[in-house]
Amino acid sequence: MATGKINVSVENIFPLIKKFLYSDHEIFLRELISNATDATLKLKHLTSIGEAKVEYGNPLIEVKVDKDKKKIHIIDQGIGMTEEEVKKYINEVAFSGAEEFLDKYKDAEKDAGIIGHFGLGFYSAFMVADKVEIITKSFKDEPAVHWTCDGSPEFTIKEVKKKDRGTEIILHIAEDSTEFLEDSKIRELLKKYNKFMPIPIKFGTRTETLPKPEGAKEEDPAPTKEVDDIINNPNPAWTKQPTDLKEEDYTAFYRELYPMQFEEPLFHIHLNVDYPFNLTGILYFPKLTNDINIQKDRIQLYQNQVFVTDNVEGIVPEFLTMLRGVIDSPDIPLNVSRSYLQADGAVKKISSYITRKVADKLSSLFKNNREDFEAKWNDIKVVIEYGMLSEEKFFEKAENFALYPTVDGNFYTFEELEAKIKDNQTDKDEKLVVLYASDKEAQHSYIEAAKAKGYEVLLMDSPIVSHLMQKLETSKEKLSFARVDADHVDNLIKKEDTAISKLSDEEKEKLKSEIESVVQDKGYTIQLEAMDSSASPFIITEPEFMRRMKEMQQTGGGGMFGVGNMPDMFNLIVNTNHELVGEILNTKTAKKRTRLINQSLDLARLSKGLLKGEELTKFIARSYDMIK
């Protein structure tokens, strides 16, 4: 037997390993099983090229928990190590990797954005164990080796008898980590990190029911047998070719990823690229609500089928973080800070590749089955609109498939919309005015007024629509969006021919001061307009610019205009050509005039959805009195 001392320059490295990674010490199991997987896959490679003269067979990795003796065993049937290799890889290489890692990050805050600890490897075992043993036999014809270390720089190494090839790691679990001696905890970690590892992982056994033998009676119990409980799927859907998968395979894999999701995904995108980087994966478009902040089930990032994180910002373009699925790439550096990751060239290429693939998929779905695409639009529009805002290349590609639905349920691309409304909705300054509503019910009267003019009204109700319109207005010439309740319809699309007022300037001044005296405490800006006599006498509108800036500020952005705490602003447009307005002007008694103004204002407020509470109750009572 030999003893030795690991060459350590960082004093007390083991407490440092434990302390630094304390919040994430569960990753020890991921690391050790990753090592076991590597050892198994290396053997497979060596047997395939004839360098290892052994049978590869059907190896598995076994995890055992011995609660009484406070031990965890991780056993593989892989390449194994000779004594020289143990000295090299465990005492020198692995340790220097751990030391380098700690040296780099020991002064950083715990959650400094490190999203993976690959490279730390074997020594992560000391986060949960106060003693670690390795019993290993190489595929080469050499004696087996037993290495022991008790969490100090001292180790012992000796020859032992071991019949089978491979490595067994034995962890003597420390008093502060006994939670890892619970079967349920180990099963949870295996499911979290190793669910799709490429080598089968055995954790205990389970009872399997067999078919009844011929001639068995109905009341006879079915025979059973104990079988290995393999807790992972070594061949997940993303590792296969799209041509080998059917639609139901993709749906089944979605269920495997998100067992608590009860809605089917709308469609999927299979990623598969080997140049200029390696990346595979499947992304799913789920049904999305308008609340873009709710996100339970996220995209999972893997490195060679080992789970790393579901915090994929910086790797996946931000607008696609609302999708679900899996991305697997050996080319993403995982032991670095997030700021480094975001500046990494390979990561930027991966991000733009994913953006392009998603845009191409959406474009082909639109072309191949437009009807189905339109039916799904409301469930996917938030992702697409967010992408158009945040990624310039996606914005350009989205011209082909971004849809603009109308209040009547028709869908247009921007090009189709432009052709449809150009003749009727171009104003006197040659600007194309796109009218839209955000709420069909609340803005019904305004929509009807616009439709009476033959105008097309879009229904744009996603939470980021104000930002999107701003983007479209700045990227296209002579275009403006106006919500139908932003002004009277004649003012929204100003033509040359304006109506002539029936009232003189003097009468208008008098009328304005009478109305102002009644509504002065209501906060309305009064505008007198000469409109068609059939248009409403009083119309309440919200100025487009200020309302839009307020909406943009609420969903991020627009704050520079200082509108965050501003009250809602409304204009009261008075139609000087309406019969009722003439009656208000000519009424002899102040009491009747006040009643007519209040009633007309409240009707306009009711139409706008602004009449509520006590004022609504008073309006109803007053209206009954008028009927009487």
The binding site comprises 31, 35, 76, 81, 96-97, 167, 338
CA dihedral 449, 450, 453, 457 (to 10 degrees): -150
Residues 188 and 171: beta-carbon distance below 8 Å: no
Report d(CA 62, CA 182) in Å as an integer: 16
Q: Which candidate, 117, 105, 88, 150, places its Cα nearest to that of 30?
A: 117
Could you tell me if 427 and 474 are in contact, meaning their C-beta atoms sit under 8 angstroms apart? Answer: no
Q: Note whether 178 and 195 are within 8 A (CB).
A: no
Question: Cα separation of 375 and 360, whole Å?
Answer: 19
Distance CA 539, CA 421 (A): 25
Between strands 570-575 and 524-529, the pairing is parallel
Question: Do 459 and 506 contact (CB within 8 A), yes or no?
Answer: no
7-11-16-17 Cα dihedral, nearest 10 degrees = 0
Q: How many residues does the chain have?
A: 628
Question: What φ, ψ does residue 308 adopt, rounded to 5°?
Answer: -115, -55
Residue 458 contacts residue 405 (beta carbons within 8 Å):
yes
- Among candidate residues 471, 454, 361, the one with its CA nearest the CA of residue 408: 454
Sign of the torsion angle spanned by Cα atoms 380, 385, 388, 389: negative
Could you tell me the strand order of the sheet in which 279-285 lies?
267-273, 279-285, 324-328, 300-303, 306-309
Outline where 323-408 has alpha helix (H): 338-343, 345-368, 370-390, 392-398
By the 8 A CB rule, do 511 and 574 touch?
yes
CB atoms within 10 A of CB 168: 20
- Which residues sit in the known binding site for ATP? 31, 35, 76, 81, 96-97, 167, 338
Q: How far apart, in whole angstroms, are the C-alpha atoms of residue 296 and residue 442?
A: 32
Q: How many CB atoms lie within 10 A of CB 51?
A: 10
Angle (deg, nearest 10), helices 465-475 and 370-390: 80
Cβ–Cβ < 8 Å for 560, 552: no
Residue pair 135/162 in contact (Cβ under 8 Å)? The answer is: yes
Reduced to 3 states (helix: H, G, I; strand: E, B; else coil), residue 447 is: helix
Q: Which region, left, alpha or beta, applies to residue 211 given φ > 0 means left and ψ of -120 to 50 means alpha?
A: beta
Q: How far apart are CA 27 and CA 33, in angstroms?
A: 10
Query: Beta strands of 387-437 (E only): which ranges?
Result: 404-405, 411-412, 432-437
Of the candidates 415, 393, 411, which has an alpha carbon nearest to the alpha carbon of residue 319? Answer: 393
Here the tokens at position 331 are 């080319």
Strand ranges in 438-565 using DSSP code E only, listed in sequence order:
457-459, 479-483, 524-529, 538-541
The CB density around residue 364, as the number of other CB atoms within 10 Å, is 13
